[in-house]
Every structure is written in structure tokens, then in C-alpha cells.
């Protein structure tokens, strides 16, 4: 089971860079700057300082509760910084409690439009959302993995077609892409710990970070 580590964006930005937040109506806040130059490397450093590097399975939650709007430059700095953090740590980050206007700002920023990257999010109603548009192979695989909670490439391949070396390799490559993008967790397990225990040796088992959150919240 993965550990879940959370960070409240609004509170931390107000604490570390208070001039980056504006209250444009009573109780309504806009984050328009996340560092002196509003750059992604500043936000990456902010995340890295807030979340110490640790081994094992971890899901990071960037909680946007209370953030009603995000400025154009801040949206690009946040999304690019989160993408870079996921790539460096090989760990998933989920944006949670994302307001509708804030979600649109993140989706429409120049970085997400140009980079073809994908981030995972939960809106204020707890509904799963994408920031960016993942390719169909990733979207379908994330949905399939969510159904199985934890599965290897061979288990997932068996649910869609006749298992063959080529189909398992294809699923393995797709899962590796998701892992490298920080969209899933991965654990190395031996044959005795796997659903497909008839096979020898070890393999990677992947899990949906959404499942980890749901499991944690239900306990």
C-alpha cells in the first residue's frame, strides 16, 4: 500500500510567497504568482523542499482547496513544475479539490497545450479529471488498471486479448510510459506474490494512484 502525502497549495503559497495570492472577492482567492519570477523551476523547488525524497510507493496530493482561480503564468509554472517533479521522482502527483475555473486555467495554459503532457486531478466533487489530453492507449490503460487496482502487464493483457509475448510486451511498454510520466505507482514483486504466480521470476506490478487515495480515505 502506498503512502499518501498532502500539501495545501493556498496555505503554503501564502506562507512562503504571500504576494502571489489575491482575494478578489470575500473568501475567493486567485493564485497569480508562485515565486519571484513565476517560473516552473521555482515551483519545482517549492515542491521538492515541501516533499522530501523518499523510497517506496508514494502518492503526492497537491490540494487546491480554496483556490478559485489561477493566473495564466502561474498555471504554466504549476503544471510544468508538477510534471518535472513527477518525472524526477517517478511518483504520481494528483491535484485535488480543483475548482472548475482553476481546472480550466490549468488545462488551457500554454505549457499544457504545447507539451502534450498529462496530470491527474480530482475536482471539488471528487470526480476524476485529466489536465491535458492523454493518448487513448494511456487513458484506456489507466481505466483498466483502476478496475484491477494492482496488476502486472501480463494480467492486463489477459483481460483484453489472447496473451502472447508481443501483447505482454506492448502492455509493459505502455505501463512503463505511464510510470515514467508519474501517472502510476510500480512495485517489483516475485512470482509467489503475483496473480499470475504460475510464471517464474519477478515482474513489476502497477497500481492506480486513485485507488491508493480511496483505500486510505476508507480506513
Residues 53-90 have pLDDT tens digits of 777 778 999 999 999 999 999 999 999 999 999 999 98
Nearest to 123 by CA among 97, 93, 101, 95: 97
- pLDDT score at 219: 45
- pLDDT score at 41: 95
Hey, what CATH topology would domain 136-218 get?
A: Arc Repressor Mutant, subunit A (1.10.10)
Hey, what CATH topology would domain 3-131 get?
A: Transcription Regulator spoIIAA (3.30.750)
What residue segments make up the domains of the chain, in order of their start?
Answer: 3-131, 136-218
| Cα gap 119→132, rounded to integer Å | 7
| Cα gap 148→151, rounded to integer Å | 6
Instruction: Categorize the per-residue pLDDT at 165 as very low, low, confident or very high, splitting at 50, 70 and 90.
Output: confident
pTM to 2 decimals? 0.88
- pLDDT score at 191: 61
Residues 114-148 have pLDDT tens digits of 888 999 999 999 999 999 989 999 999 999 998 88
Q: Above 50 in pLDDT, residue 218? A: no
Q: Above 60 in pLDDT, residue 217? A: no
Amino acid at each position: 500500500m502506498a503512502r499518501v502525502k498532502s500539501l495545501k497549495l493556498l496555505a503554503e503559497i501564502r506562507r512562503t510567497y504571500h504576494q502571489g495570492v489575491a482575494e478578489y472577492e470575500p473568501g475567493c482567492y486567485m493564485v497569480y504568482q508562485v515565486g519571484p519570477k513565476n517560473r516552473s523551476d521555482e515551483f519545482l523547488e517549492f515542491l521538492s523542499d515541501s516533499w522530501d525524497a523518499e523510497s517506496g510507493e508514494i502518492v503526492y496530493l497537491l490540494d487546491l482547496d480554496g483556490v478559485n482561480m489561477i493566473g495564466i503564468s502561474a498555471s504554466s509554472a504549476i503544471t510544468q513544475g508538477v510534471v518535472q517533479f513527477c518525472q524526477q521522482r517517478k511518483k504520481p502527483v494528483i491535484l485535488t479539490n480543483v475548482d472548475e475555473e482553476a481546472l480550466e486555467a490549468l488545462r488551457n495554459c500554454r505549457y499544457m497545450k504545447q507539451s502534450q503532457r498529462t496530470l491527474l486531478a480530482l475536482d471539488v466533487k471528487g470526480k476524476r479529471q485529466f489536465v491535458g489530453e492523454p493518448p487513448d492507449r494511456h487513458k484506456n490503460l489507466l481505466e483498466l488498471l483502476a478496475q484491477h487496482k494492482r496488476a502486472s502487464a501480463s494480467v492486463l493483457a489477459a483481460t483484453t486479448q489472447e496473451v502472447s509475448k508481443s501483447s505482454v510486451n506492448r502492455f509493459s511498454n505502455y505501463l512503463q510510459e505511464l510510470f515514467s510520466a508519474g501517472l502510476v505507482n510500480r512495485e517489483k514483486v516475485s512470482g509467489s506474490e503475483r496473480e499470475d504466480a504460475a510464471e517464474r521470476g519477478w515482474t513489476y506490478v502497477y497500481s492506480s494512484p486513485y485507488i491508493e487515495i480511496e483505500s486510505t480515505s476508507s480506513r
